[in-house]
A and B are shown apart, each in its own frame.
Chain A
Amino acid sequence: MKNLSRRKFVKSSAVVSGGIFLAPSILTSQPMFKKEKVLKLAVVGCGGRGTGAVSQALKADENVKLVAMADAFKDRLDDSYKNLSKMFQPGKIDVKESKKFVGFGSYKKAIDEADVVILTTPPGFRPQHFEYAVAQGKHIFMEKPVATDVAGIKKVLASAKIAKEKKLNVVVGLQRHYQTSYREAYKHIKNGVIGNIVSGQVYWDGGGVWVRPRQENWTEMEYQMRNWYYFNWLCGDHILEQHIHNIDVANWFIGEYPIKAQGMGGREIRKGKDHGQIFDHHFVEFEYPNGAVISSQCRHQQGCFNRVSETFQGTLGNVHTSGGSMAKLKSYSGEKIYSHNKTQNKNPYQIEHNELFASIRTGGLISDGEMGAKSTMSAILGRMATYSGKQVTWEDAINSNHNLVPNEDLLNWKSVPPVVPDASGNYPVPVPGVTKPF
């Protein structure tokens, strides 16, 4: 289909999504449908992603306004508020000073104010926030991953069940589930065009992320909370924090979750003091109940081959997908079964919120909680395998007492974090063959 050039795809998608960005009603304080109930929104975790999610929620529905914000840090909250105030009219951002909540435990106060909550702190705290939001009867958008340890997974699974019973909508930010190219690939796979998936390779090989170096006036707790990417109780390592997206696609397309994992990993390049305790590479084999084996690799090393995508082999053909909206299915004779056309593209981050709010308005029920928890658990299983060097089964792991995260309500800036540096400032790094899986 040579005549359907990529440029044309890009151009037409510009028109489609331009509508989302530029709809003038977004920018006014006058709701278009005045009879509709105003939905009150709160955000817990005001970083770049939380701020982005708020902007998408405010664009998703005419009658939604932000009423409360919570963050561990005042400066992060203030930046977020300032940025949102530049984007939206005051009617949409209606957060009084008394509704800006700062510090540990502030999540409760913000959640109490709202109908819909956005949970976008570092993932270690997510289970406690989710549990509270469900208990208070709120609709929820929460980012991935949804936990960093098994105790958290159990909490999320239990609350996800309650959310379903209470008919609370839960959207998890595994946005490939809301991306047209992936949905189309999934539809074709379910129709059997490539047969059963028997193997696959999933990748998040990149150069790594930000580092926030220690400052003199910070306590150890503040340092870890600010430089959270490098501490497992907060982040869960990049196999969890980023690579979950690709592992999740394997789970979704296969239709099951892994029963066991074994793998290897370590810190080869990125091993400074400000790099805490996480690895810079992991390679895991996941085995599924139907016998399928998925090779999963993720790397944070600069100057190496980069790849963020998924490939699966079925009994009749294969499929290639990537976040850049590629979705190609081919038979083994090389025949093209399906190739995704970018004209259908919409911003998946926006679709997440469009569908969440549409579901709330129409009394529908989106229940991503269990999927989010189990895909998070899959990545934790992979991490247990690379840290320990052992084969780890899902059953053993989920039945363990693996618990990394303290109760947030008991923390303050002088609390001693679950992991502390040695006398020379280095943190304990997992050692394969020595470190226990859980």
Chain B
Amino acid sequence: MKLKKYLKLIVFNGILIPFSVLNAQNFEDYKQDVKGEEISIELVAIEGGAFLMGTKNSSRNADEKPAHQVEVDGFWMGKYEITWKQYDTFVYDRINDEEFQIPSKMKELGVDMVTGATVPYVDMSFGMGKGEFPAVNMTQYAALMYCKWLTAKTGVFYRLPTEAEWEYVCKKGKTDKVSTLNNYAWYDENAGEKYEKVGTKKPNALGIYDMLGNVSEWVLDQYDKAYYSSSPKKNPWNKPTKLYPLVIRGGSWVDTADKICCTNREYSQTNWKQRDPQIPKSNWWFTDAEFVGFRIVRPKEQPSAKETEKYWMEVIEDFGIE
């Protein structure tokens, strides 16, 4: 059985990557190139471990409590928030390329179908800058589909972090001090009413930039204010069953400093699409979430095709009421 697993190959775009090779890769920081595209994404190796999730601080919000022990497995995390340059490569990719239409290849990756984001009718950066600035205004579904696209392009499984993984990295990064926050994060008091280029503040202790501030970041979880009182200890993930509310973390250029902390939890709202005039509303874009972006992770252990499938969540159509 073992042997069989080792022989199972991922065949993609002419690249053969056995799982054994993927899983035997040194657990070190690396740069993910994307074949045929001009982008690459830097990733930082994060050893798994246990930590106290949430807070005991009486002045913090009720949804950050109770503080509880959580364990997460190791993973790599994007060094930076995904930039417009990296995101637009997906948005404007011709998804019907031959490479996406060979079922046997996709099956190995647990990728059934990659759907291209619709090209937005308006400028989604609202004049705040593209290129090396962080991409914003995409739905969580779109961010996940970006991960799926990247998986299909590279043969390596990528996804969004869980809320627990995100908080683990933030807390290990030790940037959560009010006195030094200005060195590590862009937020309302120090940003010029807009986001800034990624990586222009200091990184946290793990080498991750803009974990706090600049743009809020999608995680994989449904928002439930009471989740911490019943969540499992190991690799918790509150898998979404409805479109709203979904968790965003880290705060952004529109948040005041009190929101820029590792335990603060925010969530998506229906009125982020209020200026979308169509019904159903776009699965891909918000009209009023110019402060929400994302970063990617890759689990240390490459999951089986069957396991990856649970992360590719189905689209839930948005009628503007929930």
- A interface with B by C-beta (< 8 Å): 2, 5-7, 10, 13-14, 17-18, 21-22, 26-27, 47-49, 51-55, 80, 83-84, 86-87, 175, 205-210, 242, 302-303, 306-309, 322-324, 326, 347-350
Contacts and interface: CB of A to CB of B under 8 A. Distances in A.
A347 B271 CA distance: 9
A323 B122 contact: yes
A10 B288 contact: yes
Contacts of B256: 5, 7
A145 B143 CA distance: 34
Interface in B241-265: 252-256, 259
Interface stretch (B7-15, B25-33, B44-52, B274-282): B274-282
Contacts, number: 116
Contacts of B317: 83
Q: Which 5 A-B pairs have the closest CB atoms?
A: A7-B254, A48-B278, A306-B123, A51-B279, A207-B119
B269 A14 contact: yes
B270 interface: yes
Nearest to A300: B119
A227 B185 CA distance: 47
Contacts of B99: none
Nearest to B253: A6
For chain A, what secondary structure do more than half of its interface residues adopt (helix, strand, loop), or is it mixed? helix
A335 B317 CA distance: 46
For chain B, what secondary structure do more than half of its interface residues adopt (helix, strand, loop), or is it mixed? loop
B173 to A, nearest CB: 23
B196 to A, nearest CB: 14
B193 A6 contact: yes
A326 B127 CA distance: 11
Interface in B71-92: 88, 91-92
Contact of B274 (A51, A84, A347): A347
A84 B255 contact: no
B119 A303 contact: no
A157 B276 CA distance: 29
A129 B92 CA distance: 37
Contact of B188 (A5, A302, A308): A5
A83 B122 contact: no
Given A27-B321, A207-B119, A7 B279 contact: no
Given A7-B254, A7-B259, 7 more contacts: A7-B255, A21-B274, A26-B321, A52-B278, A303-B92, A324-B287, A326-B126
A22 B290 contact: no
26 contacts: A6-B254, A6-B291, A7-B255, A7-B256, A22-B321, A26-B321, A47-B278, A49-B278, A52-B279, A53-B277, A54-B279, A83-B317, A83-B319, A87-B319, A206-B121, A206-B122, A206-B123, A208-B119, A307-B123, A322-B127, A324-B287, A324-B290, A347-B275, A349-B274, A349-B277, A350-B274
A158 B280 CA distance: 35
A48 B252 CA distance: 32
